[in-house]
Structure 1
Amino acid sequence: MLSSLRICQRGLVHMAGQISRRNFMSGHFRCQDVWSKRLSSPILQKVNVNDLFVQLDGRLDDSGSITAVDVDIFANAIVSGDHLDELDDIVHRFRLGTGSHQTLPTTHHAVVRAYLDFGDSSDLLRILDDRLNYGIFPDNYLNILLLDHFIKNGDFTSAAKIASMRMLQEDFDCMLANYMSLYACHKYLLNPGEWAPPAEPVKEDDEEIRVRVAYIRNPFFDDHFDLREPNALVGKTLHYTSRALGDSIGKNYRALGLILHKKWNEAENFTSAALKENARFNSSIIGLMDNFVGSLPEEEQKALDSVKKVITAARESSIKGDLLAEVTDQIKGLVKTEEKKMIDQQTQAYSDWETLRENVLKFELEEFNKKKRLEEVEKKKKELEEEEQEIFFFDNEDAIDLEIEKKRARLPKSKPKSVISIDYVPPEITVKKSWVE
């Protein structure tokens, strides 16, 4: 009896694991076979990753710049986790240069896929979040790939971070990515994880250290890229993403997002207007609102009486149901209609990007050879001029002398120095009184 109970418990645990490890996209969505075919291109077959890194590193040290196609070839040639540190370094230093605006689209995919396949998710999220210093921007395909990857692994904190990065870029034209973002944020709110990596402990030192700074910025908070608090980020993600939806799901998440973002006046006005239009909020959303408002300090809650009244009114007319299940149904429906289309588009894109890389590399080589030929022509021209001067020196001697005299004539004439006799005696200097006694 006891053994059968244990077997039953193990079965329930296994089922719970299967439920939490949901993935919406099929295995074909990764386009792994098509992506792997890039290695068969003549360009990448000739690449030795170690040698290429040494060359790029040397050029960055010497001139401080490399081309976008160099970075693209290096990123696409990586087939193991042994070169992820070098990839991090090259992408970062290239971004700090002047040619990062020419980054090829396949570079973004190569970096994301390399870290997904061989790296750590924390390093990938750090690179994606530091857009200023790395410049890796996922498109709709990559966003869905990342969301599905983290959702499948039950890492809803990382999935919510991807959703918040979409919000910061204000990119909401893909409905499938929108619903998956809402799903990730909702799952995160049900069981919040550690949003930021734990900070290293600061060692206390008695010695006071002063650092000279060029200037001190006036404090400014843009309420967008400066957001760091998890609830505010998730709240604004729910708010902005739901605006692209025209259904009741969007209204529910928009009200919740405004509450989490502490936009109290907007939350009160939006919820009141929705209730007047006979909109009914889901009880699970009302529960999340209550939990967040109830977790605030008492002093802050005292100023939220009007907001609490609106939440109470929404609760009284709320409907019971699983909003997360409704979002899941929307995602499944969109996957059926959009996945095949997105796979075909991405397959074609990978083929087009390979042709683009070849064309860009060909153009770069032509420009390099052209520059090299011009330098050789200038060098040869200078050598011929020097030889001409040597050969015709005596024929042009008079002209050279005349040119020297002209240059001397243009020089300022110095005054002749006065000659002082050896018997010279300086006069005696007397001081006259300039005041009246």
Structure 2
Amino acid sequence: MWRNIIRFSRGSNNIIKRTYLSDGYKLDQEWSQRLTTSILQKINSENLYVDLSSKFQQKKKITAIDVDIYMNKADERNVEEAADLLQKLRLTSQAHKILDSSQHAFIRLAQHHTETLFSVLNSRLDYGVFLDNYTANLLMDSFIKEKNFMLAARVATIQMLQEDMTHPITRYLSLYSCYKFSDNLETFTDLIPPAPVEVEKVAQPVSKKKKEEIRKRVGYLRNPYNDDHFDLTNTNHLVGKTFLYLADEIKKDDEALANSFSLLGYALYEKYEEGSQFLEKSKQLPVYKEVLEKISTFGSKVENLDENGQKFYDNVKSLSNQKDGKVDEVIENFVKKAVSENESKDIEEQKKTFQKWLELREQTLNNEINRLKRIQRLEDIEKLQEEMDKQEQKLWFFENIENIKLDIEDKKVFHPQRWFGKKKKPKKLDENYVPPDVESITRARRAK
């Protein structure tokens, strides 16, 4: 029996993948409870999408609560439609009212459709979807489990751009993801520009006529500007800035680890002058030997190093207070510690958040229904008032005929007289003037 158990355990090692968060952290069962509510049970997601799309085309209006209902009702087959509705909502006056549950639902919906997911997360102005600590943890843990460290590191860089690394689990999962990704740095796939489409040129017959001159309006050229944060598109720079951001956060936990990732961050971010200044202040501080070797390897691949860069790498090689140890194992221990201390608390808080979202959805929907009813009542009152005025005019027509005539006269539109130029004075006519032909005729008559 024990042999069979040992064989099974050996075989299962090839199947089970490493993960840090427990299955209970995902709260799949609690999240599915939203589908049992009366609001979502009555909804057909396909019909709702068609209705919202046609409403947007006709009136350029859709509400945040309608989008939220669709997001929570849709499944993985509707990822593209969900992204389309988010973009349409951002073009309306309701853009600022997008609900947190809509963003959470979309991230869960698109977590296996990574191309669409990161396209939406990168275009924050166009879609209005932002990661929070909980969803960032879910995504990074899932990608680490699949050993897709590039996508896990991409999530970490997005969190860095949002400047939100306060949560211990998020902090160390981000650090682990970026460090594993630094072993084999590649360009983030969502940052690769699309290949230009080649258009086949059709040979046109030579014409002797003069070619027509075609002029096209071009956009206004602005001076180039880079804020060195949201405008970063270089993968190494993004990862390097993430290391620098995380180094400040973990300094109180492990000084050697913080120093090591500060240096690695300066190297990847190519901030050599700042890196040299950091080294001058902390020459005797401990650093991990493994990270220094990685920095040296990276430096040997950099082409056309300037003076500041050469000085930085020379200073890195001269560091003497080097510490042995596997850095990924050190980070893993911090990850496990953060999970053990914060996982149960996160689960309870997220359960409460799900319940709040259910109550908020019902309340927002009722408010929207009441608003539409008020608008409808006002429209009905206006129509009734118009009908009463017409009826009153009919009943009291002869008594108010003079007033009616005055009203009609007031409603007449008098157009200003057109000006055709200055009028010419009419010529003065001579009363004694006799045309020549008439005079000759009279003379002839007298002669007779």
Question: Shorter-chain TM-score category?
Answer: 0.7 to 0.9
> Cα deviations across residues 53-92 of structure 1 (Å, max 9, x unaligned)?
111111111111211111110010013x322221121111
Aligned to 1:137, the other structure's residue is in SS state coil
Partner of 1:366: 370
Could you say if the C-alpha distance between residues 45 and 245 of structure 1 is closer, same or farther in structure 2, counting changes exceeding 3 Å?
same
Partner of 1:96: 91
> Superposition pairs for residues 328-407 of structure 1, below 5 Å?
328-403=332-407
Q: Determine if contact 2:272/2:308 at 8 Å carries over to the other structure.
A: no
Q: Determine if contact 2:286/2:322 at 8 Å carries over to the other structure.
A: yes
Q: Determine if contact 2:101/2:357 at 8 Å carries over to the other structure.
A: yes
Give yes or no for the alignment of 1:135 onto 2:118: no
Q: Distance in 1 between matches of 2:186 and 2:92?
A: 36
- Structure 2: tracts of 5 or more residues without a match: 1-9, 203-212, 432-448
Give yes or no for the alignment of 1:266 onto 2:274: yes
Partner of 1:111: 106
Partner of 1:309: 314
Give yes or no for the alignment of 1:281 onto 2:287: yes
C-alpha displacement at 1:289, in angstroms? 1.3
Q: Distance in 2 between matches of 1:424 and 1:373?
A: 79
**Could you tell me which amino acid in structure 2 is paired with residue 325 of structure 1?**
E
Q: Distance in 1 between matches of 2:322 and 2:189?
A: 34
C-alpha displacement at 1:322, in angstroms? 0.9
Give yes or no for the alignment of 1:144 onto 2:137: yes
Aligned length: 404
Q: Distance in 1 between matches of 2:412 and 2:117?
A: 69
Correspondent of 1:213 among 215, 218, 238: 218
> Cα deviations across residues 132-162 of structure 1 (Å, max 9, x unaligned)?
1111111111111111011111110000100
Could you say if the C-alpha distance between residues 211 and 241 of structure 1 is closer, same or farther in structure 2, counting changes exceeding 3 Å?
farther
Partner of 2:305: 300
Aligned to 1:243, the other structure's residue is in SS state helix
Could you say if the C-alpha distance between residues 50 and 323 of structure 1 is closer, same or farther in structure 2, counting changes exceeding 3 Å?
same
Question: Which is worse superposed, 127-136 or 194-203?
Answer: 194-203
Q: Distance in 2 between matches of 1:341 and 1:167?
A: 23
C-alpha displacement at 1:15, in angstroms? 5.8
**Could you tell me which amino acid in structure 2 is paired with residue 72 of structure 1?**
D
Q: Distance in 1 between matches of 2:413 and 2:114?
A: 75
C-alpha displacement at 1:259, in angstroms? 1.6
Partner of 1:434: none
Q: Distance in 2 between matches of 1:57 and 1:204?
A: 33
**Could you tell me which amino acid in structure 2 is paired with residue 267 of structure 1?**
G
Q: Distance in 2 between matches of 1:286 and 1:413?
A: 89
Q: Distance in 1 between matches of 2:397 and 2:121?
A: 66
- Structure 1: tracts of 5 or more residues without a match: 1-10, 426-437
C-alpha displacement at 1:303, in angstroms? 4.3
Partner of 1:166: 159
> Cα deviations across residues 383-434 of structure 1 (Å, max 9, x unaligned)?
211222222222111123345566789987899x99989x999xxxxxxxxx
Give yes or no for the alignment of 1:243 onto 2:242: no
Q: Distance in 2 between matches of 1:140 and 1:424?
A: 104
> Superposition pairs for residues 160-199 of structure 1, below 5 Å?
160-196=153-189, 199=194
Question: Which is worse superposed, 136-145 or 242-251?
Answer: 242-251
Q: Determine if contact 2:65/2:361 at 8 Å carries over to the other structure.
A: yes
Give yes or no for the alignment of 1:228 onto 2:223: no
Q: Distance in 2 between matches of 1:308 and 1:398?
A: 99
C-alpha displacement at 1:257, in angstroms? 0.8
Q: Distance in 2 between matches of 1:23 and 1:409?
A: 79
Question: Which is worse superposed, 324-333 or 87-96?
Answer: 87-96
